[in-house]
Structures are given as structure tokens and as C-alpha cells.
Amino acid sequence: MTTYADYTTGEPVVDTKAPAGPINERWDKRRFEAKLVNPANRRKHTVIVVGTGLAGGSAGATLAEQGYHVVQFCYQDSPRRAHSIAAQGGINAAKNYRNDGDSVHRLFYDTVKGGDFRARESNVHRLAQISVEIIDQCVAQGVPFAREYGGLLDTRSFGGVQVSRTFYARGQTGQQLLLGAYQALSRQIAAGNIEMHPRTEMLDVIVVDGRARGIVARDLITGKISTYFADAVVLASGGYGNVFYLSTNAMNSNATAIWRAHRRGAYFANPCFTQIHPTCIPRTGDHQSKLTLMSESLRNDGRIWVPKAKGDDRPPNRIPEDERDYYLERIYPSFGNLVPRDIASRAAKNVCDEGRGVGPGGQGVYLDFADAIKRMGRKAVEAKYGNLFDMYQRITDEDPYEVPMRIYPAVHYTMGGLWVDYDLQTTVPGLFAIGEANFSDHGANRLGASALMQGLADGYFVLPATINDYLARNPHKDEVGDDHPVVQEVLAETEDRLNLLLSVDGDRTPDSFHRELGELMWEFCGMARTDSGLRKALERIPQIREEFWRRIKVPGTGEEFNQSLEKANRIVDYLELAELMCLDALHRSESCGGHFREESQTPDGEAARKDDEFGYAAAWEFTGTGEAPTLHKEDLVFEYVHPTQRSYA
Amino acid sequence: MKLTLRVWRQKNADADGAMSTYEVDGISPDMSFLEMLDTLNEGLILKGEDPVAFDHDCREGICGACSLVINGDAHGPERTTTCQLHMRSFKDGDTIDIEPWRASAFPVVKDLVVDRSAFDRIIQAGGYITAPTGAAPEAHATPVPKPDADFAFEHAECIGCGACVAACPNGAAMLFTSAKVNHLNVLPQGAPERESRVLDMVAQMDEEGFGGCTLTGECATACPKGIPLMSITSMNKEWLRATRKVSKR
């Protein structure tokens, strides 16, 4: 007998709105068929955008440029601080500047394959097509990409591909792309086309007569809860990796916007698809508040190894060459150190589980640059990776030019998210989700340098085209205001929730609950998942939730700057989302991409997919806290890339 | 490690503030400075006291949110952001003073949190290239000499944290403003707006109430991203050139 809520299966999702016909004509066709809003009428339409990362920033700037009235929100003190800024390695684009055999079709193919055949072909192909325009757009904005001496753009290779198509700005590509979007956004703010609300956090979405009509948000300085109304709402609030407490996400990145949207009717797709990034700095102790990524680009020149013998605790430089196991190069000779992230992470876990891990607790593997320094010289290595090496040294107090880096996998990205159709619209009409907040393009595993590509594709190009169609077809009839009964209800619910958090006055801090939930999720819903482990987690989560509402302690009041209240309110949503993640992971009894079920593996330990049974995206419908959700399956049709067992050997 | 912290506490923008003293124990040298403050706050919450408010987000030195003056230095003793400062830079038994950025253009919001929206308004005044989405020419149409691209990048690295302002005895924002001016003005794509950019951004900077620059150089010393002091000189040249060019029109 189970003590947790199971699930029921509902109607499948049949229409994704992707046009029929040859895949390379679908996006053109959709754009042509989409209705337009007369430029003179656009001013009359208000669009809310939540978030100012690559997706939200580029969407806000572009919609404002088109003439819409944009009202935009971010919880940070400035839109420039969204966590896209921390992306290091680069952005993919099928420019084929290297003449190395790249093409739109190859980028499409690599992404579908890298995602382990759990992404929607039409969306991925569109992404590959648009990738080319993104680079043009960013260069025009003044993004200082790395260049060669002839003045042309430089590229590098990334995991899971055999061409060099990743454009970069040293180890700070995300920063430079985000500042480009932020500057475009700033131009529109100055022009009066965007009403920007920094330090304001969305707490709920307002759905009236089945359409998204606005949001409830809290001013984080004064604590004032207000309503904002619009003709459409765009969520660009990022992923939910922080459900694990320790992740490479920013401390305040959270799932509240998408989870509240889910509660109001938006389906949540593939919540269990989370990406564990192979190259992060290992944790040092219980005080750890977050994990820091070391860019995947390091795998271009660094070699990953562990000692051949168990428990070999000699310093790395004393371990002779023939006693080292360069396990990625050994197992995957053609991709070597550049296998996709899920495979590299799992391989690291395996060697550590065998007792061959290095560093404190044996939770680490070496990423060694000795050969690269010998081959290229220290100067060249410094020019390529200098800032990453500095960062590593600051955090660990070890010099990676002298001793190999120690790395270990950590939660980094969530491929799952709100279910969206080809137009990036959720199942709530008028509610759109872009960037990491949606689920559509990366399947069960995202390739490196593809998140920046997707965020900007959605924000600069896809959403601005598709939202026109919705706005043109759905002229809003009645004004909605604070006096509308639905709005009053949403407002009251939000205020009650915050008041309850403040009134419990228990004996445990928000962080202590977040940490407990995170450890549980890492153990049972992390790199390797089992039926029994997931069932344990599913029994434990409702207990933590119950304890949370009994013992939480939030100091201060709601009418002031109160960071503890912000945290506690986000944990409320993590405690529900975590349950759905585990349920999704339990129901998907196959392995695919980042979702590895120990029961489903090939004889040599690779993920074994079950295409006949699970060749679908799982879109979950909310039915109530602790209630059995309803599963809607979107069958994935592969017309162009035939699903095979991924092989990187 | 056991430490004594003297922390600036201020209920809100209108309230008076004062330094309060706290003891923290069990601090590991591997902790980041902010994790040390987390430890302090966990204790304060359980005692029913108001935890210390401070800005932070990415905790990997790139978002620019964290902003503490530690023992009188913006971001503390190492040349890095507060979040990348580790407790191994301190000794057991130390007393550490922790204050917010001090500048009239950065009013205190609460405790160690300040309002840096003036920086956003400087960027809004001209810190961009007008490049409407979809209208961009092919990326390779305009090659950019590598030295120019590198110069642009070096200045584009600014994270907008405000340490330069906090460190400056005059509370000037010249390093921040010049970093953006130089990043965009050196690129061929930035050329059409070269003059208006520098003139408008400098005018906005003055309007926000930042102090004047006396080339003390504290800004460049405090900058966690190493924006060079020469950045200010380059901007001054740009400004002079723009004034002359615009007056001739």
C-alpha cells in the first residue's frame, strides 16, 4: 500500500500547434499563418513579463520594440543580475564558420540525440534555425565575443558534438549575452515602453474566464502585495534546480512563478528531467550554501581521471601515468572527455562509488591540465581559462596550474518545466513560458551551450512572433480590476499564506527545511533513481511538509524587507514540486538522459530507454496539494531523427 | 574559528542606523564570508531576533549583488567579490566590521542592503547599442580587430556591484560609467552613437548625485573585475572629443 497520492491518466495531448509539412518549412509557415496586431494597436496591449534573464530580458526588449506596453518584474535589485549571467561556456549556433561539416540539420540532430529522444522535433529544428540569427543579433548589440586575429569570431567545441560551433566570450558568455539583453531592455525602459519593477516577486497568476489576465506580486522592500493586469503573461522565471538546496543556481532562483502557474491550470512537463553537471567544485562541508560550476569548456583541454586503485590517497602528482584511469577516454574513445553531461556525471559517480574518488569523502575526480600546459604553454591556457582557474583557486585555495582540479557533479539545470505548445503557450490561454521555465527543447538532457541559445531564441524570435497571434485573436473584452471576485480570491489566498508563515512561530529556520528537502532529493531523485528510493522520498515529503507548517519560524512582519519570509514562501512551493518530481521519476521506469533508473540499464551500465512505453512527454495536471495529479501524455513523433541507443563510444 | 562581528543595523531607509556587536563560533576557514553571515543569521532567527539583511544571489562572483564594506574595504581584504571571499583570509579571534556601501547616491534600504538603481539609470541614458531585433547584419560582415575586441571585453566585464563608488572618497561613479562607454565606443557597432552615449551617460551620472573624480584610484583597486584606472582617462578623452564634435555640428 502506498501512503502517497498516486496519479491518474487523463486525455493525451494531441495538438501541439506545430504545423505539418517538411520540418524546415514549419517555422516559416507558422509565422505566416500567425495573425498580426496592427502596429498602431499594439500600444493598447499590455504584456507582463516575469524575469529578466536571457529569455525574459530579450522578450521584454523585443515586445517593447514592437510597440507593446510591457510591464516587467524581477526579484533582484536590477534586471542585470538574473542568473543567466553566471553561464560560462558559450552559445551554440550552426554558422559553420569552421567549414567542419556543421549545418542547421546537424545542430538539430545533435540536440535531439543529446536529449535522448525526449524532445519535440519541430521545436528543436526551429531552435537550430534561429541559432544563426542570434549570433548576428548579439554582435550587432556589441556583445564582445572572442575573435581571432583576422577580426572574425572564434568558436570552440562542447560536449556531445564533433564540430566547433560554440561562440564564447572567455568564461563569461552568459554575462555578456545577458548584458546585451539588459542593455536592449534599458533602452526600452528609457523610451517609456517598459514599466520595470525590480525587487518585486511574482506570487501568483490571475486567471479569469480561463485566460491569464495578470499576476499578484510583492514589493520586496515595502512588503506591499499588488495586482498587475495584462492581456498576456509571459513567465521567464528560470528553472527549479534549487529544490535540491545545493545547486549551481543563484541563491534566490526559485520555482514559485511556475509552480503557482501550475496550480492555476498550467501543465508541468517532465519534472524529473534535471541535469546534473559533471564539472562542479566539490562541497567542503555542511555550511555549504551553493555549488560552483567549472565550465564544461574545460573538458576541451582538461583530462579527467581517477587512480586505478581503490583508496589510493597519494597526491595526484605522485601517481604515475600508468596507475591513472582516464576513464572517459577509455570507455568513450571517440568523444573522450567531451561526452554529454549526463554520461560524464554518471561515469564520475560510478568511479566514486567504486571507491576510487579523490578529495574529502572520496567525492571527486581530477580534471587535469598538465598535458594542456605542456602542449599549449601556460600563457595559452591562461588566456583561454584564466578566470575559471582564478575562481577555482579562490574557492579551494589550490592552484590548478600546479595540481589537478577536483570536480564532482552537481545539480545545474532543469529540462522539465511548464508544458508549452509550439507557440510557447501553456495550457492556460494567454500564459506563455520561455527559457528554462518551459520544457520543450532539451528532452531528457541538455547539451552544453544550448541553454543560452534557447533562452535567446525564445525571447528575441519565437515568442514575439507567436504572441501576436494570441493577442490578435483574443481582444480582451472586459477590464479586470481588484474588485473582480477572482482577483479578490487570489489576493486573499496570497495574503493568508504569508500571514500563516509569519504566525506559526515554530523552532526551525526556513533554511533547515530547505536543506532537509534538498538532501532527500539528492539522495533519492538525484543522479541515480530507484523504485524503492523514490517511494521512500514520496512518503517522506508530505511528512516534511506537515512538519514545516507546524515548526517553521519566520521573524519580522510582512510589511517590510524580510528575506526570511521570501525564503519560507519559496520553500512552500518546493515542498509540493518535489513530490511531483519524485512521482514523475517513479512513473517513468525507463532511463533516459539525465533520468537514470537503476532498474533500466544496458549490460555496460548505460541508460536503457523504453521508447514503446515512454516515448512521450509527461504533462501533469494539478488537482490539489497531496492529491493524485493527472498525467497527460504527449506522444513524441520522430520523423527525421530515428531514435537509437545513444552511442558516444 | 570564533569571531566578533560589528554589523551596521538599520531598520529601513528612514530609520537611524547603528553598529551592533555579535559573536559567532564554529566558523570554518573554508566557509565563504556570506556563509559565515548565514551562520550568524540562523542563530539570530532561532533567538527570535531579526536576521541581518544583505544582498547576494549567484555567490560565484558574477551577478554583482553582494556589496559589503568589510573592515573599511569594499568587498574586504582580497581583490574579489564578497561572496568569493573566504574565512581563511581572517584569523581566529578577529573582530570584523561589516557595513553597507556608503555613498549618497546609494541610499540604504535595510541593514547592509543599498539601492543601486542609479546605475541602471546611467545605462538607460545611453549604455546600449540601438540594434532592433531581427535587423542585424550577418555577424561576419564587420570584422573587429582582436585588440579592439579584447579592449571591449576587458571593460564589459564590469558586474555593476558598485564597489568603485563605495571605495571612492568622493563617491564617484566614473569607473562604472567609463567601463560601459569604453566597451561600446571602441566597437564599430557602437560608433553611430559614440558621442551621444558618452555625453548622456556622464550627464546622468552627475544628475544621480555621484561625486566628482579626482583620480584617487581607489575605485580600480577595489574593483573585483580589474577594470583599469585608465578606463576613466579613456572616457574623458571620449567626452572631450564628443563635446568638440557636437559643438561643431
pLDDT digits 0-9 by tens, A109-158:
999 999 999 999 999 999 999 999 999 999 999 999 999 999 999 998 88
ipTM: 0.98
Nearest to B6 by CA among B71, B65, B51: B71
Listed residues A380, A411, A442: the one ending a domain:
A411
Q: Using CB atoms and an 8 Å cut-off, which of residues 308-347 of chain A contact chain B?
A: none
Q: Using CB atoms and an 8 Å cut-off, which of residues 196-235 of chain A contact chain B?
A: 198, 221
- Under the banding of pLDDT at 50, 70 and 90, the label for residue A20 is very high
Q: How far apart are the first and last CA of chain B?
A: 65
CATH number (domain holding residue B25): 3.10.20.30
Query: Does residue A431 have a pLDDT over 80?
Result: yes
Given a contact cutoff of 8 angstroms between Cβ atoms, the answer to whether A291 and A248 are in contact is yes
Considering the domain architecture, whether residues B98 and B127 belong to the same structural domain is answered as no
- Residue A540 domain-assigned? yes
Considering the domain architecture, whether residues B97 and B157 belong to the same structural domain is answered as no
Considering the domain architecture, whether residues B211 and B92 belong to the same structural domain is answered as no
Helix (H, G, I), strand (E, B) or coil at A597: strand
CATH number (domain holding residue A565): 1.20.58.100
Q: Using CB atoms and an 8 Å cut-off, which of residues 155-194 of chain A contact chain B?
A: 169-170, 172, 175-176, 179, 182-184, 186-187, 189-190
Nearest to A65 by CA among B196, B136, B115, B113: B136
Distance CA A392, CA A386 (A): 10
Considering the domain architecture, whether residues B106 and B165 belong to the same structural domain is answered as no
Considering the domain architecture, whether residues B106 and B154 belong to the same structural domain is answered as no
Considering the domain architecture, whether residues B153 and B95 belong to the same structural domain is answered as no
pLDDT of residue A2: 53
Distance CA A62, CA A53 (A): 14
Distance CA A468, CA A25 (A): 20
Query: Containing domain of residue B38, as a range?
Result: 3-110
- Residue A406 domain-assigned? yes
* Catalytic hit among A218, A263, A303, A341: A341
Q: Using CB atoms and an 8 Å cut-off, which of residues 184-213 of chain B contact chain A?
A: 184, 187, 189-190
Considering the domain architecture, whether residues A489 and A405 belong to the same structural domain is answered as no
pLDDT of residue A96: 97
Domain count, chain A: 2
Cβ partners under 8 Å of residue B176, min gap 6 = B119, B122, B158, B160, B162, B164, B165
Considering the domain architecture, whether residues B229 and B206 belong to the same structural domain is answered as yes
Helix (H, G, I), strand (E, B) or coil at A204: strand
Considering the domain architecture, whether residues B94 and B152 belong to the same structural domain is answered as no
Section B49-56 average pLDDT: 97
Cβ-based contacts of B160 with chain A (< 8 Å): 78, 80-81
Pick from B31, B47, B60, B155 the residue to mutate for testing the A interface (most A CBs within 10 Å): B60
Which of B49, B136, B159 has its CB closest to that of A136?
Answer: B136
Considering the domain architecture, whether residues B129 and B202 belong to the same structural domain is answered as yes
Query: Does residue A1 have a pLDDT over 70?
Result: no
Query: Does residue A3 have a pLDDT over 70?
Result: no
CATH number (domain holding residue A284): 3.90.700.10
Considering the domain architecture, whether residues A399 and A495 belong to the same structural domain is answered as no
Chain A closest-CA separation from residue B170 CA (Å): 24
Considering the domain architecture, whether residues A383 and A493 belong to the same structural domain is answered as no
Listed residues A364, A385, A411: the one ending a domain:
A411
**Tens digits of per-residue pLDDT, B154-186?**
999 999 999 999 999 999 999 999 999 999 999
Considering the domain architecture, whether residues B183 and B213 belong to the same structural domain is answered as yes
Query: Does residue A649 have a pLDDT over 80?
Result: no
**Tens digits of per-residue pLDDT, A528-560?**
999 999 999 999 999 999 999 999 999 999 999
Q: What is the mean pLDDT of chain B?
A: 97
Q: What is the DSSP letter of A329?
A: H
Query: Containing domain of residue A379, as a range?
Result: 277-411
Residue B39 near chain A (CB below 8 Å):
yes
Nearest to A107 by CA among A447, A422, A440: A447
Q: What is the mean pLDDT of chain A?
A: 95
Q: Which amino acid is at B211?
A: G
Listed residues A364, A379, A411: the one ending a domain:
A411
Q: Which amino acid is at A29?
A: K
pLDDT of residue A606: 84
The order of strands in the sheet holding B68-70 is B17-24, B3-10, B95-100, B68-70, B73-74
- Under the banding of pLDDT at 50, 70 and 90, the label for residue B248 is confident
Considering the domain architecture, whether residues B50 and B129 belong to the same structural domain is answered as no
pLDDT of residue A264: 98
**Tens digits of per-residue pLDDT, A577-630?**
999 999 999 999 999 999 999 999 988 888 899 999 999 999 999 999 989 999
Element (H, E) at A216: strand A211-219
Subunit contact B57:A145, Cβ cutoff 8 A = no
Residues written for chain A: 649
Which of A80, A251, A509 has its CB closest to that of B160?
Answer: A80
> Is A187 an active-site residue?
no
Subunit contact A290:B60, Cβ cutoff 8 A = yes
Given a contact cutoff of 8 angstroms between Cβ atoms, the answer to whether A452 and A89 are in contact is no
Considering the domain architecture, whether residues B153 and B61 belong to the same structural domain is answered as no
Percentage of chain A beyond pLDDT 90 is 89
Domain count, chain B: 2
Q: How many helices (H) and strands (E) does chain A have?
A: 18, 21
CATH number (domain holding residue B158): 1.10.1060.10
